[in-house]
Amino acid sequence: MSSAAAAPLPTVNTPLLRPAIQVHSQSQTRLSHRARRRDHRRSKRTFLANILPASIALILLLAFAFIAYDVSSLGDCVTPLCRALGGDKGLEDIWWRNQGPYAPFRSLGKFGAQKGLPRGCEVDQVTVLHRHTARYPTSSAGQCILRSLSKLKHREVRLPRGPHELAFLAKTDLDLRDWEFDGLMDQGRKQAWVSGRKIREIYAKFLRSAKVFTRSSGGGRVVETSGYWLEGFNGQRFKLKDKKRLPLVDVVIPEGETANNTLSVHTCPAFNALDPTPGNVHRATLSQQLQPTITRLNEALRPQPPLEVDDLLCLADMCGYDSQASGQDWNGWSKWCGVFTPQEWEILGYGKDLSRWYDVGQGGRYGPTMGAGYVNELIARLTDSEVVDTTITNRTINADENLFPRGGKRLFVDFGHDNEMLEVLAAMGVKHQRRDLPSDHVPTKRTFIVSEIVPFGGKITFERVACDTGNWEPDPEVPEGDHDNHDQPYEDRDHRNRGRYATLVGVSDGGRGRDGKKDYVRILVNDKVELVDHEACRYSGLIEHGLCEMEAFVDSQRFATTDVDWNICYEHEKEGREGSD
């Protein structure tokens, strides 16, 4: 299921080894035929009959071995055959996985609305936390990229010609003349429209009787994303428009260091003062492994001044950006992606994961704290009640039913940024890591991949699901185990049965007091079911369907509701003052 997007093409690693073996045995048959003939007429043709086929077989074997290598994840997919077979699908997966937050959107599952729910269950409320879609680099990232590009521009070698992976540098625009830093790209505008249309389609049945409420963080690219999204959602045709002519969400919340805004949290001074950030420290440790890459590119291109590790990090971002920077539709990966080998990409990509996880994710001191406000808003909606929060929700806005409707049968859509989405997941215990991510090597199995969580246009969906537990029975259409997250130990039969038991006996305990109905929460990250790593949900009924009972879910969110301490955001000031006294 997790690989639903990465459709298994018949290319990866092994299949080609089989034809290689067949060819080998064919030539062996040929050999034995000839050997029989040779019995009749032994002659000077011994050489031709014996050595030549053997060497042909050997050459074929080597050729096939190379192609098999080429197609495998170790190779670079340079042969036409590999490309024809779709072998660069493997390569494309590597590029996508390693673009971090600059990856283009990919749906990772087929869930949402009725899909994957047991019989008797129905979606009753939906909140989508939606990242803005593809944009050009921010101004500061843009400066870093331009600095590195200018080194390449002042190279001291002629570029190799022909199919060499660096040859494109001779023709490509190293000044990024048409790039509007901070702004949305046309592909992003279209993608936002597509997303709106898709959500309208997926939730069509629910929307027949549900209201819609939308919020956006105040940043230009976020508001514009929400505008195109609304056009798609409202069934308009896609058309590039002046920003002012786009529809507007119900509430726009200003951004900035004095604004209480759960969709853009910049009011934690201690976090703002981190220098260097822990994420950068961890990424720097990992990046020591890029030394051979620096040497390789400096020898091949002799840029002036020579590239350093920061240049590599900035140049790596060209892969995702340049792939999305032209046209309205995806048109394949940029040649920039080929500048690095698959092994180098794993280091570059995992470095992005490290930096987010230690800065705004579970690995950072402030990440979960900054995500708590949004979790409390979500709990208010899920339980049809007022927001209770001790962090950075705006009390004035949230006390007003017109600006913050208290739940009900609604589709809520909130447009914001990647960092806050990671903070929210960290506060909730979703994508929870049992161990700190190592920074001295790239783990063979990566369990926190930023491009899977917050690519451009990424979305986290929280569904309130009402189930008629009185008549509960397993849905024959949903095969056992056809749910997600095999990484986490929810598969345990005892737990599952206990959960089932709880569901069956807990009939009277009906969610919001409707006949025999009980409320559950289901969380989707880019259409793939994710679970809250908390025992309350682990033991919940219907957990095998990715559902967590409402009460258990609220219970699992004790960090945001109770334990969070916003005061840690001011501790450094106290220390600072004490120090200077």
Ligand X SMILES: *[C@@H]1O[C@H](CO)[C@@H](O)[C@H](O)[C@H]1NC(C)=O
User: To which residue do tokens 């971002």 refer?
Assistant: 317
Token duo for residue 262: 């759960």
CB of 371 to ligand X, least distance (A): 14
CB of 554 to ligand X, least distance (A): 22
Phi and psi for 124 in degrees, rounded to 5?
Answer: -125, -15
Positive or negative: CA dihedral 330, 332, 337, 339: negative
Residues 6+ apart with CB under 8 A from 357: 279, 363, 364, 422, 433, 437, 448
Q: How far apart are the C-alpha atoms of 578 and 556, rounded to whole Å?
A: 37
Q: Which is nearer to ligand X, 148 or 214 (CB)?
A: 214
CB of 394 to ligand X, least distance (A): 4
The string of DSSP letters for 353-388 reads: HHHHHHHTSTTSSSHHHHHHHHHHHHHHHHTTS---
The stretch among 74-82, 164-172, 270-278, 393-401 that binds ligand X (CB under 6 A) is 393-401
CB of 404 to ligand X, least distance (A): 11
Residue 521 near residue 428 (C-beta atoms within 8 A): no
Q: Does 380 bind ligand X (CB under 6 A)?
A: no
Q: Which is nearer to ligand X, 268 or 286 (CB)?
A: 268
Q: Does 503 bind ligand X (CB under 6 A)?
A: no
Q: Which is nearer to ligand X, 388 or 397 (CB)?
A: 397
Antiparallel, parallel or unpaired: β 211-217 and 251-253: parallel
The stretch among 101-109, 168-176, 392-400, 492-500 that binds ligand X (CB under 6 A) is 392-400
Q: Which of residues 26-55 bind ligand X (CB under 6 A)?
A: none
Q: Which is nearer to ligand X, 501 or 570 (CB)?
A: 570
The stretch among 178-186, 394-402, 468-476, 482-490 that binds ligand X (CB under 6 A) is 394-402
Q: Does 395 bind ligand X (CB under 6 A)?
A: yes
Cα–chain-centroid distance for residue 127? 19
The stretch among 25-33, 170-178, 181-189, 389-397 that binds ligand X (CB under 6 A) is 389-397
User: Does residue 341 sit in helix, strand or coil?
Assistant: coil
User: Does residue 131 sit in helix, strand or coil?
Assistant: strand
Q: Which is nearer to ligand X, 395 or 574 (CB)?
A: 395
Q: Which is nearer to ligand X, 392 or 552 (CB)?
A: 392
The stretch among 50-58, 391-399, 404-412, 491-499 that binds ligand X (CB under 6 A) is 391-399
Q: Which is nearer to ligand X, 269 or 516 (CB)?
A: 269
Q: How far apart are the C-alpha atoms of 297 and 351, rounded to whole Å?
A: 19
Q: Does 392 bind ligand X (CB under 6 A)?
A: yes
Residue 318 near residue 334 (C-beta atoms within 8 A): yes
Residues 6+ apart with CB under 8 A from 443: 350, 437
CB of 253 to ligand X, least distance (A): 7
Q: How far apart are the C-alpha atoms of 161 and 178, rounded to whole Å?
A: 26
Q: Which is nearer to ligand X, 215 or 431 (CB)?
A: 215
Q: Identify the CA nearest to 79 among candidates 90, 70, 92, 68.
A: 70
Q: Which is nearer to ligand X, 31 or 259 (CB)?
A: 259
Q: Which is nearer to ligand X, 256 or 489 (CB)?
A: 256
How many chain residues interact with ligand X (CB under 6 A)?
A: 9
Position among 61, 300, 397, 478 found at the interface with ligand X (CB under 6 A) = 397
CB of 278 to ligand X, least distance (A): 22
Instruction: Go through 514-544 and write b for each residue having 16 or more CB atoms within 10 A of its CB, e for each that does not.
Output: eeebbbbbbbbbbbbbbbbbbebbbbbbbbb
User: Does residue 300 sit in helix, strand or coil?
Assistant: helix
CB of 423 to ligand X, least distance (A): 15
CB of 262 to ligand X, least distance (A): 10
Q: Which of residues 232-291 bind ligand X (CB under 6 A)?
A: 259-260, 267
Q: Which is nearer to ligand X, 123 or 378 (CB)?
A: 378
CB of 293 to ligand X, least distance (A): 43
Q: Which is nearer to ligand X, 184 or 270 (CB)?
A: 270
CB of 272 to ligand X, least distance (A): 13
The string of DSSP letters for 423-486 reads: HHHHHHTBT--SSPPPSSS--SS-S--HHHHSSTT-EEEEEEEEEEGGG----TTS-TT-SS-T
CB of 243 to ligand X, least distance (A): 21
User: Does residue 16 sit in helix, strand or coil?
Assistant: coil
Residue 419 near residue 135 (C-beta atoms within 8 A): no
Position among 98, 217, 376, 394 found at the interface with ligand X (CB under 6 A) = 394
Position among 28, 396, 471, 567 found at the interface with ligand X (CB under 6 A) = 396
In sequence order, the β-bridge partners of residue 523 are 462, 530
The stretch among 301-309, 390-398, 459-467, 532-540 that binds ligand X (CB under 6 A) is 390-398
Residue 199 near residue 233 (C-beta atoms within 8 A): yes
Q: How far apart are the C-alpha atoms of 438 and 422, rounded to whole Å?
A: 19
CB of 263 to ligand X, least distance (A): 12
Q: Which is nearer to ligand X, 35 or 399 (CB)?
A: 399
Residue 157 near residue 324 (C-beta atoms within 8 A): no
The stretch among 188-196, 374-382, 388-396, 541-549 that binds ligand X (CB under 6 A) is 388-396
Q: Which of residues 406-445 bind ligand X (CB under 6 A)?
A: none
User: Does residue 216 sit in helix, strand or coil?
Assistant: strand
User: To which residue do tokens 């390449």 refer?
Assistant: 152
CB of 252 to ligand X, least distance (A): 9
Q: Does 526 bind ligand X (CB under 6 A)?
A: no
CB of 250 to ligand X, least distance (A): 12
Segment holding 94, helix H or strand E: helix 88-97
Q: Which is nearer to ligand X, 199 or 392 (CB)?
A: 392
Residues near ligand X (CB under 6 A) are 259-260, 267, 392, 394-397, 566
